[in-house]
């Protein structure tokens, strides 16, 4: 018998009678040991042998994970239990679309009683496929752009600081000012290059300026934080951009790094120390929420709209920060905050993490709706007029989803920093 | 079989192009360079032939800033040797000069099939392949795709205008100007490139000669901006405009 194939010596009869009792039907077949004896555990062992992927072998099939998997909820037929089961019955994960579906949102890890950690397993498995040259084309293009230009858009590194011309306030670039600062603001790819991200970057600069925050940026010397590349299976690329950023950080005197995005937060907080870069780092909402005494009185314009907030996976579940964004939103005069059913620890993933940001074409064939579309519908269902976000991936993702779900004009997507900036005179 | 890929770096069009003070070339201090995308196709085609038939693949580039990274990447992708062709001249001006230098380099190597990109962003003529083939006195098919190699010959497709496609069989040694490889260029992880940079080394090949160009750039300038297009709001606006112009009544 060839490995991983069903044992044909087991015959399934259409009609079976035992001691005069008709036991026809598939319900009785679950008691047969066939799939345990007909398959070897080799596919599980092969995956578990990869550094980081060991915990796949711990799964005992309770399926709590599938109930919270955002990909499964969007029709993706996914989740760690399903992966384990498919491995048991011969799945080659390295050649399967299942390899690329996980967004590393960590919701399965939250509920898993056995510590099966997909956030470690999937990048390890992907790394092996990437080393074998097997990468979905749209993800490959992103890798090539980051390798060549240090940003996923394939834009010129020199143009990374161009957004500051539209900020309307002075944005100090550390290579030019050469002065110590309190805050090194890590602007990030989407704030620097994406049109809607640039709106948020300008808003951030103006809010910092009004609060008198002593800050500076790396400008054109900044590179992608690298975290999504790492999670998509290209740790070498992550290391190359991370080492560059660490060297740049080390050139300047500052007290802490403040990031625009949760993915940069995760990279600098959990991964850069492994490469010798120890820095105090926080998300911008974590910088601003404790400054509400000063910030609150500046919010003089009323924002009379019903707002719901989307918890970014890498700020919430990954780093436990649920309060800072909500404190900022509730401080906005006139703003009515309403929660979606899936919020905070249970927050639903936008689909952009773990490389998902560059797999929309690939994923279109794998799910019945985009994760971002599902999330936008949830926001509309709770009557929100504004979907507030604080991850730079999300404005473009959700704006696309607003259009594709026919909610253009009904729901506006705004970064929290844009709302704050808009309420200042 | 020995497949040689002739590659060159070209200005990266992601950057704003800056013309130097003499007005005849790009300012090298303001220009970033990358591998010519068609040469990347030629390299991929060579690697596909290697995957299928197990040949040796060499990549030749004229020595210049930035080519080391390109050559190490080619090695990491699976090329067997990477050779920098060194000349007295720092720059080779145009494809004729480049073809002369590469012909001199190829004269010192045993090769069966030479592949080069069909054109480059900085070409004045898009004729590197034919020029090089004539200097080497070997057959050439330019604008080639769908290459397969077997038994001392290659079969290639060439597309003509009007939806016509031709299939050529070419005896070796010979040269192909590659339009597109049979699949898009492969990805090589950064960790592999880094490992190759530590383990492998690039070869240098000195070639003698003047390598004079056949043509020189007299002047270079940015294209004049046209007046631009006016976006019409919809069918009624279009209809009004057509009526105004007397096209419809």
The domain segmentation of chain A, as residue ranges, is 42-131, 154-289, 294-422
Place of tokens 């720059």: B91
Structural domain that includes position B45 = 2-244
Which residue, A225, A203, A229, A205, is CA-closest to A216?
A205
Strand ranges in chain B using DSSP code E only, listed in sequence order:
2-7, 9-11, 33-35, 56-62, 81-86, 113-117, 140-150, 153-160, 164-171, 174-180, 203-206
Task: Give the closest of B12, B184, B189 to A131, CB-based.
Answer: B189
- The first and second tokens of residue B249, run together, are 């009544």
B187 touches chain A (CB under 8 A): yes
The stretches in chain B having pLDDT less than 70 are none
**Assigned domain for B100 exists:** yes
- Which strand (E) or helix (H) includes residue A47? helix A42-48
Q: Which CATH architecture has domain A154-289?
A: 3-Layer(aba) Sandwich (3.40)
Q: Give pLDDT, residue A2.
A: 44
- Residues of A309-342 as b/e, b for ≥16 C-beta within 10 angstroms? bbbbbbbbbbbebbebbbebbebbeebbeeebeb
Residues of chain B with C-beta less than 8 angstroms from the C-beta of A149: 14
Contact between A357 and A228 (Cβ < 8 Å): yes
Nearest chain A Cα distance for residue B15, angstroms: 6
CA dihedral sign, ordered A151, A156, A157, A162: negative
Task: Give the closest of A135, A148, A240 to B187, CB-based.
Answer: A135
- The first and second tokens of residue A229, run together, are 């590349």
Nearest chain B Cα distance for residue A127, angstroms: 9
Distance, in Å, from the CA atom of B116 to the CA atom of A100, rounded to the nearest integer, reads 35
Whether the bond between B173 and the residue before it is cis, its omega within 30 degrees of 0, is yes
**Assigned domain for B136 exists:** yes
**Tally of structural domains, chain B:** 1
Task: Kindly give, in sequence order, each residue whose CB lies less than 8 Å from that of residue A144, ignoring residues fewer than 6 positions away.
Answer: A154, B187
pLDDT tens track, chain A, 425 positions: 344 555 666 666 777 788 888 877 666 555 555 556 677 889 999 999 999 999 999 999 999 999 999 999 999 999 999 999 999 889 999 999 999 999 999 999 999 999 999 999 999 999 999 999 999 999 999 999 999 999 999 999 999 999 999 999 999 999 999 999 999 999 999 999 999 999 999 999 999 999 999 999 999 999 999 999 999 999 999 999 999 999 999 999 999 999 999 999 999 999 999 999 999 999 999 999 999 999 999 999 999 999 999 999 999 999 999 999 999 999 999 999 999 999 999 999 999 999 999 999 999 999 999 999 999 999 999 999 999 999 999 999 999 999 999 999 999 999 999 999 999 98
CB neighbour class for B86 (10 Å; exposed up to 12, middle 13-18, buried from 19): middle
CB neighbour class for B240 (10 Å; exposed up to 12, middle 13-18, buried from 19): exposed
Task: Give the closest of A133, A140, A147 to B190, CB-based.
Answer: A147
The chain A residue lying nearest B66, using CA atoms, is A148
pTM, two decimal places: 0.90
Residues of chain B with C-beta less than 8 angstroms from the C-beta of A220: none
Superfamily of domain A294-422: AF0625-like (3.40.50.10700)
**Assigned domain for B216 exists:** yes
Q: Give pLDDT, residue A7.
A: 60
Distance of CA A213 to CAs A4, A208, A287, A291, B34, Å? 62, 5, 10, 10, 40
Distance, in Å, from the CA atom of B129 to the CA atom of B45, rounded to the nearest integer, reads 15
Contact between chains at A237 and B189 (C-beta distance less than 8 A): yes
Q: Give pLDDT, residue A1.
A: 38
Residues of chain B with C-beta less than 8 angstroms from the C-beta of A131: 189, 191-192
What CATH number is associated with residue B150?
3.40.50.620
Size of the A and B interface in Cβ pairs below 8 Å: 40
Distance, in Å, from the CA atom of A235 to the CA atom of A320, rounded to the nearest integer, reads 25
Contact between chains at B192 and A236 (C-beta distance less than 8 A): yes
Nearest chain A Cα distance for residue B43, angstroms: 15
**Assigned domain for B157 exists:** yes
3-state secondary structure of A384: coil
CA dihedral sign, ordered A206, A208, A211, A212: negative
**Which residues face B115 on adjacent strands?**
B5, B176
Contact between chains at A156 and B16 (C-beta distance less than 8 A): yes
Write down the H helix ranges in A132-173.
Answer: 137-149
- The first and second tokens of residue A358, run together, are 């560059």
Distance, in Å, from the CA atom of B101 to the CA atom of B92, rounded to the nearest integer, reads 8
Distance, in Å, from the CA atom of A277 to the CA atom of A250, rounded to the nearest integer, reads 8
3-state secondary structure of A382: coil
Nearest chain B Cα distance for residue A200, angstroms: 24
ipTM of the prediction: 0.86
**Assigned domain for B112 exists:** yes
Phi, psi of B19 (to 5 degrees): -90, 140
Distance, in Å, from the CA atom of A162 to the CA atom of A191, rounded to the nearest integer, reads 11
Place of tokens 């006016």: B230
Q: Give pLDDT, residue A116.
A: 97
Which residue, B180, B167, B38, B56, is CA-closest to B111?
B56
Distance, in Å, from the CA atom of B222 to the CA atom of B219, rounded to the nearest integer, reads 10
Contact between chains at A130 and B187 (C-beta distance less than 8 A): yes
Place of tokens 């989307």: A310
Task: Give the closest of B16, B186, B189 to A236, CB-based.
Answer: B189
B159: Cα separation from own chain's centroid = 18
DSSP conformational letter for A305:
S
Task: Give the closest of B15, B187, B191 to A133, CB-based.
Answer: B187
Distance, in Å, from the CA atom of A185 to the CA atom of A56, rounded to the nearest integer, reads 38
**Assigned domain for B249 exists:** no
The chain B residue lying nearest A134, using CA atoms, is B187
Which residue, B129, B102, B104, B137, is CA-closest to B45?
B129
Residues of chain A with C-beta less than 8 angstroms from the C-beta of B192: 131, 236
Q: Give pLDDT, residue B89.
A: 86
SS3 percent helix, strand, coil of chain A, rounded to 5, is 50, 10, 40
Contact between chains at B190 and A234 (C-beta distance less than 8 A): yes
């Amino acid at each position: 018998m060839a490995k991983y194939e069903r044992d044909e010596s087991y015959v399934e009869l259409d009609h079976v009678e035992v001691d005069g009792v008709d036991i026809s039907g598939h319900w009785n077949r679950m008691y047969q040991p066939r799939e345990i004896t007909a398959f070897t555990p080799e596919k599980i062992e092969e995956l578990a042998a990869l550094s980081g992927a060991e915990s796949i072998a711990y799964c005992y099939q309770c399926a709590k994970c599938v109930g919270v998997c955002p990909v499964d909820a969007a029709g993706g037929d996914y989740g760690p239990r399903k992966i384990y089961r498919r491995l048991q019955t011969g799945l080659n994960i390295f050649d399967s679309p299942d390899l690329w579906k996980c967004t590393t949102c960590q919701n399965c890890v939250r509920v898993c009683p056995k510590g099966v950690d997909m956030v470690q397993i999937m990048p390890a498995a992907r790394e092996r496929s990437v080393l074998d040259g097997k990468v979905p084309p749209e993800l490959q293009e992103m890798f090539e752009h980051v390798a060549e230009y240090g940003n996923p858009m394939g834009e010129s590194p020199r143009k990374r600081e161009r957004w500051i011309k539209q900020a309307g306030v002075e944005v100090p670039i550390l290579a030019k000012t050469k002065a110590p600062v309190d805050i090194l603001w890590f602007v990030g790819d989407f704030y620097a290059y994406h049109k809607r991200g640039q709106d948020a970057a300008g808003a951030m600069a103006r809010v910092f300026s009004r609060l008198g925050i002593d800050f500076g940026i790396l400008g054109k010397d900044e590179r992608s934080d690298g975290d999504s590349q790492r999670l998509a299976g290209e740790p070498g690329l992550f290391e190359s951009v991370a080492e560059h950023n660490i060297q740049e950080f080390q050139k300047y005197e500052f007290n802490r790094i403040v990031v625009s995005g949760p993915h940069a937060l995760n990279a600098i907080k959990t991964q850069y120390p492994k490469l010798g870069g120890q820095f105090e780092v926080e998300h911008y909402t974590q910088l601003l929420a404790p400054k509400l005494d000063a910030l609150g009185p500046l919010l003089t314009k009323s924002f009379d709209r019903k707002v719901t907030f989307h918890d970014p996976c890498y700020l919430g579940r990954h780093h436990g920060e649920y309060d800072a964004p909500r404190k900022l939103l509730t401080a906005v005069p006139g703003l009515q905050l309403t929660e979606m059913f899936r919020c905070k620890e249970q927050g639903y993933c936008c689909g952009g993490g773990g490389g998902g940001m560059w797999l929309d074409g690939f994923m279109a064939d794998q799910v019945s709706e985009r994760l971002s579309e599902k999330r936008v519908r949830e926001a509309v269902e709770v009557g929100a007029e504004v979907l507030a976000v604080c991850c730079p991936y999300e404005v473009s993702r959700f704006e696309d989803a607003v259009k594709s779900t026919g909610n253009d004009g009904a729901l506006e997507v705004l970064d929290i920093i844009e709302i704050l900036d808009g309420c200042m005179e | 079989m020995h497949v040689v890929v002739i590659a060159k770096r070209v200005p990266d069009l992601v950057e704003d192009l800056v013309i130097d003070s003499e007005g005849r070339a790009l300012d090298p201090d303001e220009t970033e360079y990358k591998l010519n995308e068609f040469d990347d196709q030629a390299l991929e085609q060579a690697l596909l032939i290697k995957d299928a038939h197990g040949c040796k693949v060499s990549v030749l580039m004229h020595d210049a800033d930035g080519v080391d990274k390109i050559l190490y990447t080619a090695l990491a992708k699976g090329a067997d040797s990477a050779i920098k062709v060194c000349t007295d001249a720092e720059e080779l001006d145009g494809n004729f000069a480049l073809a002369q230098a590469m012909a001199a380099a190829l004269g010192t190597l045993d090769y069966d099939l030479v592949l080069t990109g069909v054109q480059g962003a900085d070409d004045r003529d898009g004729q590197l392949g034919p020029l090089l083939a004539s200097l080497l006195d070997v057959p050439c098919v330019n604008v080639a795709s769908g290459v397969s190699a077997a038994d001392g010959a290659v079969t290639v497709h060439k597309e003509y205008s009007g939806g016509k496609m031709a299939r050529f069989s070419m005896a070796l040694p010979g040269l192909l100007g590659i339009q597109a490889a049979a699949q898009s260029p492969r990805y090589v992880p950064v960790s592999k490139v880094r490992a190759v940079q530590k383990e492998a080394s690039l070869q240098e090949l000195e070639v003698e000669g003047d390598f004079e160009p056949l043509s020189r750039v007299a002047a270079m300038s940015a294209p004049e901006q046209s007046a631009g297009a006016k976006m019409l709001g919809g069918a009624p606006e279009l209809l009004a405009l057509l009526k105004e112009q007397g096209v419809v009544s």
